[in-house]
Structure 1
């Protein structure tokens, strides 16, 4: 069924593509953060283990919100590992990192999400879509704050 909400099809398509990429990035970062939660070791274990849990819990909620926005725009949300792998700009966790390496890697992931969200937010496609713009602004806020906190951990 077609959508008639005042957003032209070209803008709708571009917004869905941008949100799909943001979803893939968010899900990939969720997986990476959960992995690090399970596998962190060292003197900062307790604080990092708890912080990573807070981060992956927030990301789990975010992927649902982003996917539901894609659905509200009339498209199917990507939802497989292969779809996410084709859409994400975040690399999977490879080798086992130490705690500092994990923090640096997650910092890079959050900054990647900031850049992706900002690119979509600044797109002309969002001119008639305040709801998607609001979602992107909220994601920017979360990822910029998280990146700041991760940078502070690194000194």
Structure 2
């Protein structure tokens, strides 16, 4: 089967693949949206890490730092996966802003429990998006992307769980 190349890919970036161009386009679009959301969630998690306050400061500060590192670690793997299948990936903050579905939080102050709950819901949204992406890459017979997403879904569910439990602790300890 001869692959029809997309006109938008520079010849120097035209990675060879056995996937049909339609699959490359679907996989790239799906993974690039996840990548944009990963950057948005990373920055929001860091924002809350930098601005958390209160009696659980140390615990939350460390938790959010750990989670932001984990989220950031997914970005390179997602972008490289797009390139491996012959697609092109994000190029700028503006490109991220166009694709992200995770909403920014620009508030001057967010109470710690609300921070945790917002991040918990964002991680739940991210896991749901990864499941949808898994179906798309699976339909395109891209087992490597599917495997990558399976690991990321598990990590995202773990973050959701930790944020849920930490926000319950906050709620039950306040008088």
Q: TM-score, normalising length from structure 2?
A: 0.83
Residues 90-101 of structure 1 mapped to structure 2, 5 A cutoff: 90-95=102-107, 96-101=109-114
- Residue of structure 2 in register with 1:75 after alignment: 87
CA distance in 1, matches of 2:137, 2:48: 37
RMSD after superposition: 1.5
Of residues 7, 17, 21, the one that matches 1:9 is 21
Question: What is the Cα deviation at residue 5 of structure 1?
Answer: 3.0
Structure 2 vs 1, CA of residues 140 and 49 (structure 1 numbering), >3 Å: closer, same or farther?
same
Residue by residue, what CA displacement relative to the aligned partner does 1:55-74 show, whole Å, maximum 9, x if unpaired? 11111111111111111122
C-alpha deviation, 1:18, in angstroms = 0.5
Moved more, 127-136 or 71-80: 71-80
* Number of equivalenced pairs: 155
TM superposition score normalised by structure 1: 0.93
Equivalent residue for 2:141, pick from 124, 128, 149? 128
1:62 lines up with 2:74 in the alignment: yes
Structure 1 position 49, deviation (Å): 0.3
Checking the alignment, whether the CA contact within 8 Å between 2:137 and 2:146 is kept in structure 1 is no
Query: Computing the radius of gyration over CA atoms, which structure comes out larger, 1 or 2?
Result: 2
The correspondence of residues 9-48 of structure 1 with structure 2, limited to 5 A, is 9-48=21-60
Conservation of the 8 A alpha-carbon contact between 2:138 and 2:146:
no
Task: Tell me the CA shift for residue 128 of structure 1.
Answer: 1.8
Residue segments in structure 2 that go unaligned for 5+ positions in a row: 1-10, 169-175
Partner residue in 2 for 1:112:
125
